[in-house]
Amino acid sequence: MAKARDQPASAAERMLRAAADLLQTGGIEAVSTRAVAAAAGVQPPTIYRQFGDKDGLLDALAGFVLEGYLEQKRLLIDASRDPGIELRDLWDLHAEFGLNQPDCYVLTFGQARPGRTVPVAAETVELLTDVIARLGDEGRLRMSVDRATAYFRSCGAGYILQQIGTPPDNRDPELSSIIFHDMMAAISTDSKHNRTATSELPSRAVALREALRDREDLPLSPAERVLLAEWLNRLADSG
């Protein structure tokens, strides 16, 4: 993210760097337009011209801080790797980011701002969904990709937000692994995570759903494709 030494930062980047420093040292409440303007050496109207309003500034700030995390996430993903192993790596990366950047995490994932989306945050979800879809394509999911992704994200966000609110000395170092394995036992048919026998029907439905997702040569009308996808998702989530 950093510019080369011989390239001066743009006004927008100076403002985002200033906002990131304020977020790191003082939390979300410290990121006011006046404080950012003073730290960046610009007039407050410059912020409004660049970002529209404070929400626009916070959206841009979240994307600015998340970019490094997103790049690490991209590097972790390799279609030739076992998606189950990738999910563990993604879980650990998510936990590391959340605990190292708690205020940015809360800003991005812990505060509901209806109608506001951060493109970088949306891409992190897309990358996760792609890995879970590969697990489903191999017949290793007990539910639909959409439900498994939501389950994974709920467990991850719940764990990080709980840890952020817990003094570091009181945190249980084993809790992350416990929650991850319980989450995988819920969504996956992998024997190393599962503790009970389960029907093969949901995993077969997911596998078929993923196998057909991008096929253009099916002898089905668009309406039939939509209906088939709905049926397969319903079977996938029946377990």
Per-position DSSP letters for the chain, written without gaps between them? -PPPTTSPPPHHHHHHHHHHHHHHHH-GGG--HHHHHHHHTS-HHHHHHHHSSHHHHHHHHHHHHHHHHHHHHHHH--TTS-HHHHHHHHHHHHHHHHHHSHHHHIIIIIS--TT---HHHHHHHHHHHHHHHHHHHTT-BSS-HHHHHHHHHHHHHHHHHHHHTS-GGG--TTHHHHHHHHHHHHHB--TTT--S---SHHHHHHHHHHHHTT-S--S--HHHHHHHHHHHHHHHTT-
pLDDT digits (tens, 9 = 90+) for 83-123: 999 999 999 999 999 999 898 888 888 766 666 667 788 89
pLDDT digits (tens, 9 = 90+) for 162-215: 999 999 999 999 999 999 999 999 999 986 655 444 557 777 888 888 888 878
Residue pair 93/73 in contact by the 8 Å Cβ criterion: yes
128-151: average pLDDT? 95
Residue pair 160/105 in contact by the 8 Å Cβ criterion: yes
User: In the structure, what pLDDT confidence band is assigned to residue 140 with cuts at 50, 70 and 90?
Assistant: very high
- What percent of the chain has pLDDT above 70? 89
Domain ranges of the chain: 9-52, 66-236
Predicted structure pTM score: 0.74
Please determine, looking at this structure, whether the domain spanning 9-52 carries the CATH number 1.10.10. yes
Question: When comparing pLDDT for 48 and 214, which is higher?
Answer: 48
pLDDT digits (tens, 9 = 90+) for 218-233: 888 889 888 888 888 8
pLDDT at 26: 87
